[in-house]
Structures are given as structure tokens and as C-alpha cells.
């Protein structure tokens, strides 16, 4: 894996997000059988009005920079960006609509054969929790915030040695005993040399039970109806010849960084294209539970490249399966 990939941290984050429902606690039985469990549509708490000055304050706080020249404002998506003038790997961005932000200071030191002194998994978890507390970034309801995965980023040196560059902590959300999946309701922390937090993605807005609406049973699709929709989705993505094996079916909430959290069915499948040159492909089908969804999921709009990676049957380009080992040769 070429370490230039580190500068594409957004794709890594999205892949971890997509896989989060698989990496969380899996039910021993099909959760779709819990028909009596009520589900809701949640509205987010209001985000205070933000300006470009808020982004500049974040850059000063987390990147220790006051470089005015590095900032760019995109009016189309109401997002402020920062790129360091001396090292393009040092970046920050903030969505001024919802407050989501991310930064990375995985600088040029991490390129090539550099071997950072990474903490152990246990130490990294403590560092991440302390960082969130120190900067007031933890969830208001701590029971919602769940550590879902400890992984990392690896690179191959010029001599072929595999080097662990960063430990990654991925936090997700749980509501009503159900996981929240999607690009939102996630916090990702990258921890580098000597335990330094070198990157953060925070896509987290508060919700409250006073701002939720219970969904009537008549408004929900049955599991059988949703599975039929999933089959149509797979056919649309992979073609008429594609078949699939259903591995698991679960309920979840979906956060697409929009205005609401809504309940969804999550079908973990393996798609077979019946092509000897292509191995069967793991694929997640996410279907709204509501017959008339109040907001589109926008599954591919977040990052089309991530979907293409999945469809290309090459998820191994990103190592998210285990805590990095510093002794891998």
C-alpha cells in the first residue's frame, strides 16, 4: 500500500463507517424478529450559527496555526477548508451548517521508512478518551458513544517492510439498543508517534428523546418487503446476472449528516457476479424502514470512490481489521 493514501483519510474514514455495523456487537439471532421494539425518527439539536472564524479557531487550537493564507471557503457546501502552506498533509475542514469537522497533521515525517513509536491498544484507548474529555468533544450522553473498532494505517517501505504508521480508534453511536450507521454519528481518532493525536474526524450532533417521533407499524416496511428492495438494489448495482447470499439482517438507525436519524434495515450479503475472474463480493444493502422515508439516505453521494472500492472487490486496500502490530515484516 502506498503511503500517499494517508492524505486520502476521508476514504479510510468512510470505509470504517461502512463497516461499523459489522464490527459492532452482532446479535446471535436475527434482530428483525423483534417486531415489538419501537423505532423512531430523531431530530438533531440545533447547531449554533457558525462562521469562518470558528474554523480558524479550530485550526489554531488543533494545528497551532494562524496562517490566514491557508483557508478556503466553499460557498456551495458551506464548508471551510485549511491546507498548510508548507505541508499539504496538514489539513482541517469544517461544515459550517452542522458543525462537523476533521483535521489531520500526519505530516511528511510519516512518509517513507519512518517508524513512529506507537502506544499499545490499551494506551491508545485511554489517550483517545482523555483527548475527547479535554477538548469537550465527548457525547453529552456517554452511553450513546461506543468504541467500535481499533485499527490503523500501514505503509510499505521502499525495502518492502510493512510499517504501522497510525493507530485508529473508531467510535459509533447506539440508540434504543440499535447501532447508528452511516457517515454521521462517528468519531475517528488517529494516534501517532509517542501517543500524539494526529487526526480527528468528528461527525456528531446531539439528539434527545424529546425530539423523536415514534413510527407506527403501518408506516414500516416488513423485513420481507425490504429484502425484495435489497434484491432490486443489488441488481441495479451489479447487473441482472448477480445473485446474493444473505449473511445477516439487522435493524439500525442511519445518519447521513442530514436533518434526521431514521431507522433502516441492514442486510449483510455476499454478491456473486458469476464471473470466474471475480471473487464473490461482500456488500451491505441499507434499506429505509419507512415506506415513505422523510429524507433520502444518499448512500453513494457521500463518497462514490468508497462504493467503487467495494464493488471492485478490493476492500483489503484499507487495513481496518486489527490493531497494528509493530513487528510485522
User: 15 and 154: one domain?
Assistant: yes
Task: Report the number of distinct structural domains present in the chain.
Answer: 2
Q: Are residues 107 and 63 in the same domain?
A: yes
Query: Once rounded to an integer, what is the mean pLDDT over residues 219-232?
Result: 93
- Please compute the mean of the pLDDT values over residues 134-154 and round it to a whole number: 94
Q: Is the pLDDT of residue 86 over 50?
A: yes
Q: How far apart are CA 287 and CA 220, in angstroms?
A: 11
pLDDT of residue 37: 83
Q: What span, in angstroms and rounded, lies between the C-alpha atoms of 289 and 187?
A: 25
| pTM check: above 0.95 | no
Residue range 298-321: mean pLDDT, rounded = 45
Do 307 and 225 lie in one domain? The reply is: yes
- Which residues form the domain of 106? 3-23+47-205
Domain membership flag for residue 33: no
Residue range 163-183, pLDDT digits in tens:
999 999 999 999 999 999 999
- Residue 32 — very low, low, confident or very high, per pLDDT cuts 50/70/90? low
In a domain, 276, yes or no: yes
| Beta-bridge partners for 102 | 93, 201
Give the pLDDT band of residue 305 (cuts 50, 70, 90).
very low
Residue 62 in domain? yes
158 and 233 together in one domain: no
Greater confidence, 70 or 111?
70
- List the single range of 52-61, 132-141, 309-318 with lowest mean pLDDT: 309-318
Residues 129 and 58 in one domain: yes
- Same domain for 55 and 184? yes
The full DSSP string for 182-223 is: SSSSEEEEEE-GGG-EEEEEEE---EEEEEEEEPPGGGBPPH
Q: Please check whether residue 40 lies inside any domain of the structure.
A: no
Q: Are residues 61 and 78 in the same domain?
A: yes
Q: Which of 13-17, 46-50, 252-256 has the lowest mean pLDDT?
A: 13-17
Please indicate, yes or no, whether residues 236 and 133 belong to a single structural domain of this protein: no
Q: What is the pLDDT of residue 211?
A: 84
* Crossing angle (nearest 10°) for helices 304-311 and 9-23: 60
Distance of CA 201 to the CA centre of its chain: 9
Cα 272 from Cα 267, distance rounded (Å): 15
Nearest to 16 by CA among 186, 254, 248: 186
Task: Give start and end residues of each alpha helix (H) in the chain.
Answer: 9-23, 52-62, 121-134, 223-238, 304-311
Same domain as 14, residue 151 = yes
Are 77 and 179 part of one and the same domain? Answer: yes
Q: How far apart are CA 282 and CA 310, in angstroms?
A: 8
Q: Does residue 156 sit in the same domain as residue 247? A: no
* pLDDT score, position 7: 35
Q: By percentage, how much of the chain surpasses pLDDT 70?
A: 80
Say whether both 153 and 188 belong to one domain: yes
Which residue did the predictor score with more confidence, 284 or 318?
Answer: 284
Mean pLDDT, range 80-102, rounded to an integer: 96
- Mean pLDDT computed over every residue of the chain: 83
**pLDDT value for 328:** 31
Match 447487473 to its residue by C-alpha cell.
239
pLDDT score recorded for residue 8 = 37
| Residue 36 falls inside a structural domain | no
309: closest CA among 10, 4, 3, 11? 11
d(CA 249, CA 225): 13
What integer pLDDT is reported at residue 99 of this predicted model? 96
Amino acid at each position: 500500500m502506498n503511503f500517499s493514501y494517508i492524505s486520502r483519510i476521508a476514504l479510510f474514514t468512510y470505509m470504517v463507517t461502512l463497516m461499523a455495523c459489522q464490527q459492532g456487537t452482532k446479535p446471535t439471532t436475527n434482530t428483525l424478529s423483534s417486531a415489538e421494539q419501537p423505532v423512531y425518527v430523531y431530530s438533531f439539536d440545533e447547531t449554533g450559527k457558525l462562521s469562518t472564524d470558528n474554523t480558524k479557531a479550530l485550526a489554531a487550537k488543533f494545528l497551532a496555526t494562524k496562517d490566514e493564507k491557508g483557508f478556503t471557503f466553499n460557498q456551495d457546501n458551506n464548508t471551510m477548508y485549511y491546507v498548510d502552506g508548507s505541508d499539504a498533509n496538514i489539513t482541517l475542514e469544517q461544515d459550517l451548517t452542522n458543525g462537523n469537522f476533521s483535521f489531520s497533521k500526519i505530516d511528511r515525517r510519516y512518509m517513507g521508512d519512518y517508524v513512529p513509536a506507537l502506544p499499545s491498544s490499551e494506551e491508545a484507548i485511554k489517550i483517545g478518551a482523555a483527548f475527547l474529555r479535554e477538548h469537550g468533544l465527548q457525547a453529552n450522553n456517554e452511553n450513546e458513544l461506543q468504541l467500535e473498532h481499533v485499527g490503523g494505517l500501514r505503509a510499505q517501505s521502499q525495502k518492502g517492510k510493512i510499517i504501522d504508521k497510525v493507530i485508529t480508534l473508531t467510535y459509533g453511536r447506539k440508540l434504543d439498543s440499535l447501532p447508528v450507521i452511516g457517515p454521521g454519528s462517528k468519531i475517528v481518532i488517529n494516534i501517532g508517534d509517542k501517543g500524539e493525536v494526529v487526526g480527528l474526524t468528528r461527525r456528531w450532533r446531539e439528539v434527545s428523546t424529546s425530539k423523536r417521533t415514534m413510527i407506527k407499524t403501518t408506516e414500516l416496511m416488513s423485513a420481507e418487503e425490504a429484502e425484495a428492495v435489497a434484491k432490486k438494489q443489488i441488481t441495479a448495482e451489479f447487473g441482472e446476472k448477480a445473485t446474493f447470499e444473505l449473511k445477516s439482517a439487522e435493524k439500525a438507525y442511519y445518519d447521513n449528516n442530514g436533518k434526521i436519524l431514521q431507522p433502516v434495515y441492514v442486510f449483510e450479503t455476499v454478491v456473486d457476479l458469476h464471473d470466474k475472474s471475480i471473487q464473490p463480493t461482500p456488500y451491505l444493502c441499507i434499506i429505509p424502514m419507512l415506506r415513505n422515508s422523510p429524507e433520502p439516505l444518499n448512500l453513494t453521494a457521500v463518497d462514490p470512490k468508497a462504493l467503487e472500492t467495494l464493488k471492485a472487490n478490493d476492500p483489503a486496500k484499507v487495513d481496518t481489521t486489527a490493531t497494528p502490530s509493530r513487528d510485522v515484516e
